[in-house]
Structure 1
């Protein structure tokens, strides 16, 4: 493979505390009648945030305001309630040494993704970080990867997408890429395989064995 795109949340880093607490903060600001626990909100990790708020709130109403409240906390605090998965650094170092071009492709706004990549010292591994815009542009993984492939001038047939959720695999399939699902994040084996994953890996290190 010439180029490899990595999802961020649930693939490179474990963002659970920051994301779930920021969602709770937004729900509190909206005086939501019930408060899900952090564990009950793990399904929100990975998919586009606004869609998750629509589901949580039961309607489109207030979803945009919820995203605004979420970002109030996430941009200053939640961003750093995060951690790189054990073994990721070694995997990235090995792939770079093998001559692969590495990129980040996340539905998270790129302004946040860039800060996370820098904060955890991952910048040197990646040629570029691709994410959505704050207005929701390219939040859909298929659209994001279409843009990212064109920007990097790579052949989709020689490119991998590595992620932990179904939309990572669907985005890869829709763009003629192969997808590798990781099980240490927030998606299940069934979710990933049903979405078209070519391989599923239980650990970061296992990913290396799936890459030619």
Structure 2
């Protein structure tokens, strides 16, 4: 696999903010399994509805609330706004139980992700994980995959008032890290990460293998894209 030449020298950065789902860990299997179990706790037409990776991949990235509501509307497009809210509240309770039970069991660390974190830590970058996944779920997943010790901070979707693509989580992470956004690299996999980084003032690198709502990652207009996080070559 060829190296990706980055437009920045490493010395430009004091820290990196790294997304979780679709960037470090392929969690589609976890989402699919938890959503299947959740729908099976609901009445028809939700009970037994076939949930697959292709369907879920288009919906992930904007937090659990968006994921569940998107799936419910996909199954029953005739749901009124009031019915959707009531059904979501019911589904959310089941989803929390099921996701907690299987968190990390149907997922895998992407090739090169562990090596990249080792390289960045060895280079002296301060690292934070910023994800739209609830903080407790994110911390558990990182621990299960042996990645938790790389991060000084984990900022989940419930840590601040707004989720990515809003810049608030990134700015909050920069504050925790004690770094300026311009000296903090955002590493993610989707337009959510790119939009949040642009608004926060962080340079952004996106991986091509993640979840970008079914769209090519190049459409997110990142500063750089790569096929593998451990094959990066910094500018001189």
TM-score range, shorter chain: 0.7 to 0.9
> Which residue does 2:177 correspond to in 1?
152
Query: Normalising by structure 2, what TM-score?
Result: 0.80
Aligned with 1:132 (options 139, 157, 160): 157
1:5 equivalent to 2:17? Answer: yes
How many residue pairs align between the two structures?
Answer: 210
Match of 1:50 in 2: 65
Are 1:205 and 2:218 an aligned pair?
no
Quick one: distance in 2 between partners of 1:105 and 1:91?
Answer: 16
TM score, norm. by length of structure 1: 0.88
Q: Does 1:30 align with 2:39?
A: no
Decide whether aligned partners of structure 1 residues 189 and 56 sit closer, same or farther in structure 2, where only a CA change above 3 A counts. closer
Match of 2:209, SS state, is coil
Change (3 A) 1:79 1:69: farther
Instruction: Compare CA radii of gyration and give the structure with the larger one.
Output: 2
In the alignment, structure 1 residue 69 sits paired with structure 2 residue 94: yes
What is the alpha-carbon distance in structure 2 between the residues aligned to residue 49 and residue 188 of structure 1? 14
Higher RCO by CA contacts (8 Å cutoff, separation 6 or greater): 2
Q: Which residue matches 1:181?
A: 206
Uncovered stretches (5+) of structure 1, i.e. residues with no partner: none
The aligned counterpart of 1:167 is 192
Give the superposition deviation at 1:49: 1.8
Question: 3-12 vs 147-156, which deviates more?
Answer: 147-156
Shift in CA distance, 21/188, structure 1 to aligned 2, threshold 3 Å: closer
Q: CA deviation at 1:90?
A: 1.2
Shift of 1:79: 3.6
The structure in which a higher percent of residues are helix is 1
CA distance in 1, matches of 2:153, 2:235: 20
Distance 1:94 1:150, change over 3 A: same
